[in-house]
Amino acid sequence: MIATYLSGSRLRATLAVAAVAAGFIALDHFLARTELAELKREARQEYRTGLELLAAGRARDAAPHLGRAHSLARDSREYQLAFAEALEGAGRSDMAERNIRQALERDSNDGEANLAMARLSARASKRDDANAFYHRAVYGTWRKDSAMERRAVRLELADFLAKQHLKEELLAEVLRLQPDAESDPIFAGRVASLLLAAGSPSRAISAYREILRFHPEDPSTWRGLAEAELQVGDFRRAQIAFSKVIRFAPNDSIAQHRLEFVATLSEMDPTPRRLSSDEKYRRSQALLAAVRERIAACAGVNPSPTDPNSSTGNAGRALLAARHKDFKNEDAEAILGEAENLWAAKPAGCPAQRDNDPVPVLMAKISNE
Amino acid sequence: MIGNSTLVGPDRSGNIPNNREDQITLALSFVIGAIVGLVVVAFILLTGRLAARMYPAGGAAARRVLVPVAGALVTGFLLVRFFPEARGSGIPQTKFALFLRDGYISLRTVLGKFLCCSASLASGIALGREGPSVQIGAGIASILARAFNLSPANVRNLVPVGCAAALAAAFNTPIAAVLFSLEEIMGDLHATVLGSVVISSATSWMVLHLFLGDEPLFHVPAYHLVNPSEFLVYAALGVVGGFGSVAFVKLLLVVRIWFRKLPRWTLWMQPAVGGLTVGLFGWFMPEVLGVGYDYVERVLGGDLVLRSVFILAVLKIVATAVCYSSGNAGGIFGPSLFIGAMLGGCVGGVAHLWFPSSTADAGAYALVGMGTAFAGIVRTPLTSVIMIFEMTRDYSIIVPLMISNLISFFVSSKLQPQPIYEALAHQEGVVLPSMGDREQLGKLQVRDLMQPISVEADTPVDNVIGNLGNDGPATLPVVSGGKLLGVVTRFDLSACTPGQFVRDAIPSDVPIVTVYGDQALSLALEKMGANGVDALPVVSRSDGREWLGTITLSQALRGFGLEHQ
């Protein structure tokens, strides 16, 4: 039936239609390929221009270029995230978030998109969101060099946690980073400083010492070690470490000041084992007086040591009693105990933070012991 | 059943043979969808890439003036010299072909439309590509139907099939394409060609996706209603959109009348006026050039400042009106969306400025504004809603879209009762069938029973008066050279003096009541009754004075199986 129908003019018409269709298929294929190539080229050009402007800190100028790159190549996650970064830099966080969310809708496990969202949330002070997105970024999918990317993200997360003073979570992340520190001294230094920020100075000390085994003249490592020793209360070692810093970096004025501070601490510290009883007692008294002075300054009064209702009443009686007794080590301990109690009972925020104030450092050491 | 054909009765063996032409029509629906899809894809790619080369972003400002003018001059010459049928947007021309010429669109028209519109749009003329695509699609369907020797009825039936295929590919909106073909082209949502229209639309859409992927026309953020009070703002947008639509339509029609009064020898140069207008605007604001979908997407994303959006809305209204009226090849669909997006962006921008916590971003209003202007200008509210949804794939804003569309449609209908395509047809001297007429198309029509009864104007009265009312009607059309001069009755003739001619008997103060051949017989009877006559002249829709025949009362009644006594 078809053969009968398709004869003569109809056959010619059918062949003509087939030829036209074939011609247009070829034409459309060529045009589509050309269009795609041109669009990709244009998008890449706009992307490069946008990145240069972004790197130069001109986010507002970069945004239109990156936006155009994104609109020309919608399937490029890279362009979209760069556009989001430019939008955020240009103060359009809503639109930035929208773009990142679109990327996440396409692939919720995408490491880069989660990282972008984490950074956005961190800057917007959305702590819980940032934390969640950082973790998703760490365990998400990364296209190239995923181990390095994950490490970098975990490091960034650790920095974030350090700023938020989330010490426990920070320590958990830093411990996961430690195995990677063995082969990279700079990375190891970062890890060690993060251990310190996480409130684990003993681990930090071990880490710093490990670095110094291979890089004994690195002043930054010695500095880190010095601070760690200071945190654990070993002022002598801290002093040695700061001296090393000055030796390898003579122009480091901060280290100089810290060395002087540590020297002051060493002179005031009543806890060293080989200290004589007299010296221990003297130092304890001085420390107690310093504690009283700090607390009184917070209260705005200068309470009499005989005032039975004052917070210093018991310490004052102990002091008086000590004048009438022979000096003993135990008395020094008692004075230190009183100082500790006073310090523990002080109002919150008292005393006000002061750089290089030896009293808080000493009291922290005494409390830890 | 596809088309208007009926099934043949069973043969002796009890088998029912299918109607061959219906099968061919069905098969052609797929072929038309595929071919039209391929052609429209080529059209889209060519216009886009050429435009990027003709006036690249960041290029010299002078180029933005010279290129549209040069392009308009070239296309103006081509249109006048070689492709006169390719002028205009394509929608009215498609309807002319469908209702006046049994669906005939020539290959030359299709080629001319393709070439001239490609050149026009690539030059930056502020018109759209969708209207021309519709005419190209309709033309391809007409050519294929005639090539396969289909009946005139099926040739007509395949024209909207081609239109749907074209729009599905041009806008990437297969559902809206079907609705538009039925709502606007055919004027009948229950048309028997629904199946073919759906097939071609789907096929064309698949072809588009094969080559250009699955991206929607516009990428928009997921907007949603922020506060119920936003409905008031969307209602206000409907009013603004309605007024904006009316302003655009009236400006276009007025400017077009002015251009039509110019001497005929200026016809090929007239498009250059449109080119110059858009070029001068484009000097300062390049966004006005071309279709401008990039900027529509930016305003949908809330990425253009309020001042720019307002200026663009005004400039585009003027530029498109002048470009179209001056005779450039191109459509108004795309510019309608642009104008609507900008108007919506203005309203939304102001609302968001005053009530930031109770309103969505300006982009949401731009999205609704697109549909609002489309509904107000093209007057297809249902198509408009579905089209915006398909373009953006954002369903969350659909209720505000419906409300705003309806208000815009209402405002526009009140201030500009005649829809734009009908008004444009009237300017051409063509009366297209109304919605009521189209609904009657399947029923008994005047042309089926009209007869060649008339009297020549130069016939002596004495020769006629004796024969009037004996066997024929008492009312006679008076013609001269095939042109209807008037209608005379026995009373009119008897009032004449001997020696006078029939033309002298035509009453000058009585309006001539006529009917068209494709109108229903029942309408002819109604008119006869209303005017107290027993015959009506039948005239052409494209020339109201061209006499085609006469329908008498007796013939009309016979059509209904009655005898006139």
Residues of A with CB under 8 A from a CB of B: 5, 9-10, 13, 16-17, 20-21, 24-25, 27-29, 31-32, 34-35, 38, 67, 71, 74, 95, 98
- How long, in residues, is chain A? 369
Q: Name the stretches of chain B with pLDDT < 50.
A: 1-18
B49 touches chain A (CB under 8 A): yes
- pLDDT tens figures, B227-257: 888 999 999 999 999 999 999 999 999 999 9
> Which residues of A are less than 8 Å from B20 in CB distance?
5
> Which residues of B are less than 8 Å from A104 in CB distance?
none
- How long, in residues, is chain B? 565
Nearest to B493 by CA among B524, B518, B465: B465
From the list B52, B147, B211, the residue facing A13 with the nearest CB is B147
Q: Measured between CA atoms, how close is A9 to chain B, in angstroms?
A: 7
Closest-CA residue in chain B for A101? B221
- pLDDT tens figures, A224-273: 999 999 989 899 999 999 999 999 999 999 999 999 999 999 888 988 88
Q: Kindly determine whether residue A5 and residue B45, on different chains, have CB atoms separated by under 8 Å.
A: no
Give the pLDDT of residue B136: 96
Cα→Cα distances A35→A146, B41, B45, B172, B313, Å: 33, 12, 7, 18, 29
Angle at alpha carbon of residue B371, lines to B366 and B373, rounded to 5°: 90
Q: Kindly determine whether residue B20 and residue A5, on different chains, have CB atoms separated by under 8 Å.
A: yes
Q: Kindly determine whether residue B42 and residue A10, on different chains, have CB atoms separated by under 8 Å.
A: no
Q: Kindly determine whether residue B219 and residue A71, on different chains, have CB atoms separated by under 8 Å.
A: yes
> Which residues of A are less than 8 Å from B42 in CB distance?
24, 27-28, 31
Closest-CA residue in chain A for B56? A42
Pairing of strands B455-456, B475-480: parallel
Task: Locate A90 and state its tokens.
Answer: 């240009």
Instruction: In whole angstroms, give the CA distance from residue B375 to residue B405.
Output: 6
Give the pLDDT of residue B538: 95
Identify any residues that bridge with B546 across adjacent strands, giving them in sequence order.
Answer: B483
- Are B167 and B178 a contacting pair, CB within 8 Å? no
- Give me the amino acid identity at B521: L
Q: Measured between CA atoms, how close is B146 to chain A, in angstroms?
A: 10
Residues 204-243 of B with CB under 8 A from A: 211-212, 215, 219, 221
Cα→Cα distances A106→A102, B249, B344, Å: 7, 42, 29
Compute the half-sphere exposure of residue B170: CA atoms within 13 Å on the CB side of its CA.
29
pLDDT values of chain A reduced to their tens digit, one per residue, 369 residues: 555 656 677 888 889 999 999 999 999 999 999 988 988 999 999 999 999 999 999 999 999 899 989 988 888 999 999 999 999 999 888 889 989 998 999 899 999 999 999 999 999 889 999 999 999 999 999 887 788 888 899 999 999 999 999 999 999 999 998 888 877 888 889 999 999 999 999 999 999 999 999 889 999 999 999 999 998 989 999 999 999 999 999 999 999 999 999 999 988 898 888 888 888 888 888 898 888 888 888 766 554 444 444 444 555 555 555 554 455 678 888 888 888 888 888 877 776 666 678 888 888 888 877
From the list B149, B211, B221, the residue facing A28 with the nearest CB is B211
- Are B512 and B487 a contacting pair, CB within 8 Å? yes
Q: Kindly determine whether residue B41 and residue A38, on different chains, have CB atoms separated by under 8 Å.
A: no
| Chains A–B, number of C-beta pairs less than 8 Å apart | 57
What are the φ/ψ torsions at residue A305 (nearest 5 degrees)? -65, -20
B38 touches chain A (CB under 8 A): yes
> Which residues of B are less than 8 Å from A98 in CB distance?
221
> Which residues of A are less than 8 Å from B48 in CB distance?
35
Give the pLDDT of residue A88: 92
> Which residues of A are less than 8 Å from B148 in CB distance?
10, 13
> Which residues of A are less than 8 Å from B215 in CB distance?
74
The string of DSSP letters for B521-540 reads HHHHHHHHHHHT-SEEEEE-
Closest-CA residue in chain B for A20? B35
> Which residues of B are less than 8 Å from A35 in CB distance?
45, 48-49
Instruction: In whole angstroms, give the CA distance from residue B230 to residue B221.
Output: 18
- Give me the amino acid identity at B504: D
- Are A54 and A66 a contacting pair, CB within 8 Å? yes
Give the pLDDT of residue B1: 34
Cα torsion angle, A328, A330, A333, A339, sign: negative
> Which residues of A are less than 8 Å from B36 in CB distance?
none
Give the pLDDT of residue B4: 38
Q: Kindly determine whether residue A17 and residue B215, on different chains, have CB atoms separated by under 8 Å.
A: no
Give the pLDDT of residue B50: 81
B23 touches chain A (CB under 8 A): no
- Give me the amino acid identity at A202: S
Give the mutation candidate from A6, A10, A27, A28 for the B interface (greatest B CB count, under 10 A).
A28
Beta strand spans in B243-323 (E): none
Instruction: In whole angstroms, give the CA distance from residue B257 to residue B326.
Output: 10
Percent with pLDDT over 90 in chain A: 47
Give the mutation candidate from B148, B217, B297, B361 for the A interface (greatest A CB count, under 10 A).
B148
Give the pLDDT of residue B217: 78
Give the pLDDT of residue B313: 94
From the list B49, B149, B302, the residue facing A35 with the nearest CB is B49
Give the pLDDT of residue A247: 93
Give the pLDDT of residue B5: 35
- Are B539 and B547 a contacting pair, CB within 8 Å? yes
Closest-CA residue in chain A for B32? A17
From the list B38, B149, B294, the residue facing A21 with the nearest CB is B38
> Which residues of B are less than 8 Å from A9 in CB distance?
147, 149
Give the mutation candidate from B28, B38, B203 for the A interface (greatest A CB count, under 10 A).
B38
Q: Kindly determine whether residue B147 and residue A17, on different chains, have CB atoms separated by under 8 Å.
A: yes
